[in-house]
Structure 1
Amino acid sequence: MKIIEKYAFVLFLLIMVKTYGQKPLDKSFVKKVEKTAIAFKVKEPLASDPVSVDAKLVWNGNKTQAAVIVKAKLLDGWHIYAYVPNTQPYIQYKMVLEVPKSVIPLEDWIKPNSYPYEDNIFIYKGELEFIRYFSVENIEKDFVIKAGLFYQTCNIKQCLQPNTKTIELKFK
């Protein structure tokens, strides 16, 4: 039993070093990301396409940390599913994120508040903002992050086919 405890402790330490060994987020960088997110506008959705999605990449001053902002705007009366129990047929949203190996997540996505719907389902509606912070070890020549949203959108009358919208964010 002692050997298992010893290995569990070593594994715990390795995870802690990998996850928390990164430099903490600089408060001024967080404020910069928040300001950028507020100013960042997503185009209006259309009746033929009730969800518009866009993304933006924000860097700290010395390019060692970055934030990805994904914003979505849903047409009035439409929603996407924030949480769906296994007993329900609807499709829950998922964040789409492809990053180079040198980009390491510092935390999980910061998500908007969801609304209770029915049968233990939660939905998103209106304007949505998702933010995720990263540590960047080195910037590769063709640095590209792909970010977006996979979702099923519905209104009171119908549900549309699931859709994925992604944006390529390039180093500038």
Structure 2
Amino acid sequence: MKHILLIGLLLPLQALSQSKFSDRIEKEAAALQCPPPDGSKPVTVNAAVVATADSLAVIVKSEILRGWHIYAYVPENQPYIQLDPILETPASLQPAGGWSQTPPTASVHDPGVLIYNNTAVFIRKFARKEPSGGKIKAGLYFQCCDIKQCLPPDEHVVELNF
């Protein structure tokens, strides 16, 4: 009976802890700054880590110049290149689910194509197997286009310490 009572007390505490962790992730994602995009570099990328003793989240954020977009989903019959998150982590991190991301919008010009305009945020959570730190490489591989042109695929990677 004592074990059941203890478990009953720990589960709400764990849920509260995860809620606070999610709040920290949201705040960090909102505060994360990318270099300003411009005509020579219409998409910029930055990344950050939010860590606790037993959890870690990687945030990848992109800023997209007005009038440009990157591709969240591309059907096989379209020539565009769909974005691909880049993530290299140490073995001490165990994925806790897949990527969560900003919802994309439907392309006005290409049926079935989903795109990101302005800002896109990608988050991946992990459980930490051990409290030691390490290095993470995070970023995006993408193609950006505007109404007149598409640029060659590009890759932006940020090295993070935790």
TM-score, normalization by structure 2: 0.85
Q: Tell me the amino acid that sits aligned with residue 128 of structure 1.
A: A
Gaps of 5+ in 2: 1-13
Which of 40, 44, 47 aligns to 1:52? It is 44
Q: Tell me the amino acid that sits aligned with residue 149 of structure 2.
A: Q
The answer as to 2:91 corresponding to 1:101 is yes
Q: Tell me the amino acid that sits aligned with residue 51 of structure 1.
A: V
Q: Tell me the amino acid that sits aligned with residue 113 of structure 1.
A: P
What is the aligned partner in structure 1 of residue 141 from structure 2?
A: 150
What is the aligned partner in structure 2 of residue 30 from structure 1?
A: 22
**Could you tell me how far apart the structure 2 residues matched to 1:112 and 1:76 are?**
17
Length, aligned pairs only: 146
**Could you tell me how far apart the structure 1 residues matched to 2:76 and 2:35 are?**
33
The answer as to 2:120 corresponding to 1:115 is no
How much identity, in percent, do the aligned residues show? Answer: 41
Q: CA deviation at 1:165?
A: 0.4
The answer as to 2:133 corresponding to 1:127 is no
State the superposition RMSD in angstroms. 1.5
**Could you tell me how far apart the structure 2 residues matched to 1:92 and 1:151 are?**
6
TM-score, normalization by structure 1: 0.81
Q: Tell me the amino acid that sits aligned with residue 147 of structure 1.
A: A
C-alpha contact (below 8 Å) 2:32/2:46 kept by paired residues: no
**Could you tell me how far apart the structure 1 residues matched to 2:22 and 2:114 are?**
28
The answer as to 2:82 corresponding to 1:92 is yes
Which of 128, 144, 160 aligns to 1:136? It is 128
The answer as to 2:120 corresponding to 1:168 is no
Q: Tell me the amino acid that sits aligned with residue 129 of structure 2.
A: E
Which of 18, 28, 31 aligns to 1:39? It is 31
Q: CA deviation at 1:119?
A: 2.4
Gaps of 5+ in 1: 1-22
Q: CA deviation at 1:140?
A: 4.6
What is the aligned partner in structure 1 of residue 10 from structure 2?
A: none
